[in-house]
Copies of this chain bind each other. A is one copy, B any other.
Amino acid sequence: MGTDGDQPVADRPQQSDVAARAGVSLATVDRVLNRRKGVKERTRQRVLEAARELGFLSETEEAQLGMARPLNIVVLLPAGSNPYLRLLGDRLRARLDSAGPSGPVLRCFFIESFSAQALAEALRRNAGWADGIAFFAIEHPVVREAAAEVAASGTRLVSIVSDLGSVPGIGHVGLDNRAVGRTAGLLIGRLSGGREGAVALVAGSRHYRAHSEREAGFLSIQEELFPQLRIHGMREGHDDAAENYRHTLALLEQVPDLVGIYNVGGSSGGITRALREQGRQEVIFIGHGLTPDTRRAVLEGTMDAIFDQDPDMLIDRAIDSLSGPPAVVRPLKLDIYFSENLP
């Protein structure tokens, strides 16, 4: 026996080792491992953690035991009537339902629109409580400050759709909005077939970088490629249908040679309504967000194209970003819908 000296067979760990490492009794380890009830979630995690560190469990078992405690994710969206955002909320709920109990828990709160204060406050309020927060960023020092603070405190953050400039430790999931704006400009220019006239740029809100970037991209390509079109800036519609409606009516009256409209923000419903009512469907109109109203508008010919980012993709990527390590994230893909390729 003594001959070969008992090869250092890494004695595999016992439940007692796990118990010791987790600082609990065998009984508790047993309860956890056999899925008996009567264990507080915290101790459960301690035990599971210890078990993993000791290599007591195989990967599959870890998964079965729900090692990865479901992430607690909070999503902060601007309140208001914007249909895309409502759709996003719906998809969040759907995703929550469809994913099993092991999936992340998603909670969605609607924040007073365009209020940096309210957003900053919401960020702070949910920090600590949530594992991660995905938020539609308003670019404002107050928000940036709150975000940096929350990120530093350990809560993971990711901005969605609209980002926050570069704040360290905060991810972003969204389109390349400058390219989006340029694409919109290209399409309007091309669809206008060389006509001269005015193109209106509907600014959603300059509080959102996404909007500013789209705007910048749009302006740059117009200047570059379509000098025959002059830009007619329109006041911010604040993603509100009624406001957009009024502005569009005014626009149609003031600018007789209007060729196209690009709505940088949401709530295109007001614009389509105005175009429809004034019988100006020939005006080229591109807007954002594939929703029932834009869908209808494209089908009836009032809108010419919808630019969209798939909400499900957005949610997936946001969750990934909040779950895993900070990875390099490529911008989302821009989906372009015309009347013929609506899903």
A residues within 8 Å of B by Cβ?
Answer: 7, 9-12, 20, 23-24, 42, 45-46, 57-58, 60-61, 179-180, 182-183, 185-187, 190-194, 217, 221, 304, 310, 330, 333-336, 338-341, 343
Contacts and interface: CB of A to CB of B under 8 A. Distances in A.
Nearest to A330: B343
Question: Quick one: copies of this chain in the complex?
Answer: 2
Contacts of A42: 57-58, 61
Contacts of A336: 336, 341
Contact of A46 (B58, B185, B187, B343): B58
A179 B337 CA distance: 11
A176 to B, nearest CB: 8
A60 B191 CA distance: 55
Question: A20, A330, A333 — which one has the most chain B CB atoms within 10 A of its CB?
Answer: A333
A183 B339 CA distance: 8
A151 to B, nearest CB: 28
5 contacts: A179-B340, A179-B341, A186-B338, A193-B193, A333-B335
Given A42-B58, A193-B194, A194-B193, A183 B340 contact: yes
